[in-house]
Structure 1
């Protein structure tokens, strides 16, 4: 039988080649240097005061990332019904995050996730089911949280509609976020229908859509996706509500902890000395930032993420140069570690499993 390209060791080795790891790092640093040169003003770093608050805030930021990874690990154990040990679960999550970090945000690491789970001992059908379930839960978190945020916060402030001299930027961000939200909602509805109601009907629809000339080249991938959904549906349909509540709670903790990293960084450098820190608003804007980052064509959103940080959280930071510096610290804590951990772990994993 011909080996599937996604399971070919050479393909995996290419995915972690030095070029793949270096590109997101270079793109991110070039973006930061450009923004610093463009907006830096003398005396910017005089605003930073290092103190015990700085150390405590940075410690909390790293703690939030640890909680985020623990939430992902707990969810994976729930979805696999404790099939994996904590050690093996940690390895899978780190490999998964590494793949996400070196691919465009819209693609993510799910294309390799099924392979990781399968090679660690799950059959292909259950591996597909677990990956589909994680995608379903992640999208559900975003779909639920945005309306809740709009109910409790000033939506004009949330979307920067009151900011001076940013009318065009605010309008662009608003349409971008709403468009991304509607796409997520549509994806969640289609995925839910396929997983829990009519998987064969969804596969038929996918194949019909991918008969279009512009999409025909991806028809084989659509066929495989449809097959994965059918296999996933068999395993997920009969799970009880306790199973889904536990899995969603782990998802909620993981994503929420990820967003509190920025709150912790702003607290660390005591930006509240210069402007009050509305932690709920900062959290809400990160939710919207993450939705916007999905359109980034760069690996892991490099470059685009730093720019969005400075534009969308800049009114909580007194100087543009300082906001760029904090954006870099944010990425150093929440993104770059996965590049290095994954680049270390994946060659050894390939050698052991192939």
Structure 2
């Protein structure tokens, strides 16, 4: 981890403490202690295990994809990949550091850089596709509720969906209409040069061109291996489900028995989509606001609502950062070719 990343990590932890202090400003200390004392710890443990299973299933996806490359990739090394990803997603804007960090972790474990890039491209495509599928279902189930009660926030959900949907459309264009995509990109950069012609724009075009070519070559393999694609798609879908049900277990741990698993899961899917729009690492600030706003319909007690938000943030954000820091210092087992 670079010095800059360490500074950002410290700043994010301090920012998290500041948000926690702000959230607790109007909460009675005695009420908070009482809510903590009455927590149903079994459900909280279930929430922790749900997150750990989600990380484990992502590691299985990595292992399955590397097996396609005829590699016997150790499970210990595979488990490092999603954890390192969580760390760098959590300390970079728009989670932009996760992909390079995974590539570094794979190369560190002895995987060829080209093969590692190929694996991560396929993993990214499937992951984005499953997110969009989940979000479309969530929109049909819960959007009418949000639109009627939280109009401004519902617009953010739609905007988040459009961004992720545009990513999928772009990937599909590369896969099935390669020549048109290349021409469109070249036209875009020609238009940019009308306003500013610089070496930086040339460099951006070169990088994007390389990424498009790499993804196109990988897409040819994707289309030839439908069974593998379906397999990792199902695993990824199950992985996301374990992640999305975490708030349900948290609500149960707070004694909120009469809550709908379907609605809670649906709202969490929508919250995750909104978080991706905030440029601050981890969507800090926006994540807490979205959770508190949406789940206030389930929890009327302000003390329990804040505690639910803090527990959710601890498990879905800070746990990943902590485990990622541990994974970063663990020496990976080398692959067996």
Which bracket does the TM-score occupy, shorter chain normalised?
0.7 to 0.9
Does structure 1 residue 222 correspond to structure 2 residue 208?
A: yes
Cα distance in 2, alignment partners of residues 154 and 98 from structure 1: 30
- Is the CA contact 1:73–1:90 (under 8 Å) kept in the aligned structure 2? yes
Cα distance in 1, alignment partners of residues 147 and 34 from structure 2: 25
Go from structure 1 to structure 2 and tell me whether the alpha carbon gap of 1:154 and 1:174 turns closer, same or farther (over 3 Å shift).
closer
**Counterpart residue number, 2:144:** 156
Deviations 1:276-309 (A, max 9, x none): 3122111100000011001111112223212211
Does structure 1 residue 262 correspond to structure 2 residue 247?
A: yes
Q: Which structure is higher in helix share?
A: 2
Structure 1 alignment gaps of length 5 or more: 1-11, 164-169
1:105 aligned residue (91, 94, 97): 94
- Aligned residues: CA RMSD: 2.7
Go from structure 1 to structure 2 and tell me whether the alpha carbon gap of 1:154 and 1:123 turns closer, same or farther (over 3 Å shift).
closer
- Describe how 1:243-254 pairs up with structure 2 within 5 A: 243-254=228-239
Deviations 1:85-104 (A, max 9, x none): 11110122221221111112
In the TM superposition, what is the alpha-carbon distance from 1:348 to its structure 2 partner? 6.0
SS of the residue aligned with 2:259? coil
Deviations 1:46-87 (A, max 9, x none): 762745x71111110111011101110111122222631111
Cα distance in 2, alignment partners of residues 308 and 48 from structure 1: 22
Alignment length, in residue pairs?
323
**Counterpart residue number, 1:56:** 42
Cα distance in 1, alignment partners of residues 46 and 263 from structure 2: 19
Cα distance in 2, alignment partners of residues 268 and 27 from structure 1: 26
Deviations 1:244-276 (A, max 9, x none): 12101110111110111111111011123xxx3
- Is the CA contact 2:94–2:276 (under 8 Å) kept in the aligned structure 1? yes
Go from structure 1 to structure 2 and tell me whether the alpha carbon gap of 1:178 and 1:314 turns closer, same or farther (over 3 Å shift).
same
2:224 aligned residue (238, 241, 247): 238
- Is the CA contact 1:92–1:117 (under 8 Å) kept in the aligned structure 2? yes
In the TM superposition, what is the alpha-carbon distance from 1:110 to its structure 2 partner? 1.5
- Describe how 1:79-90 pairs up with structure 2 within 5 A: 79-81=65-67, 83=71, 84-90=73-79
1:206 aligned residue (175, 185, 210): 185
- Is the CA contact 1:210–1:222 (under 8 Å) kept in the aligned structure 2? no
Q: Give the TM-score taking structure 2 as reference length.
A: 0.85
- Describe how 1:157-172 pairs up with structure 2 within 5 A: 157=145, 159=146, 161=148, 163=149, 170-172=150-152
Does structure 1 residue 197 correspond to structure 2 residue 176?
A: yes
**Counterpart residue number, 2:52:** 66
- Is the CA contact 1:306–1:324 (under 8 Å) kept in the aligned structure 2? no
Q: Give the TM-score taking structure 1 as reference length.
A: 0.81
Structure 2 alignment gaps of length 5 or more: none
**Counterpart residue number, 1:33:** 21
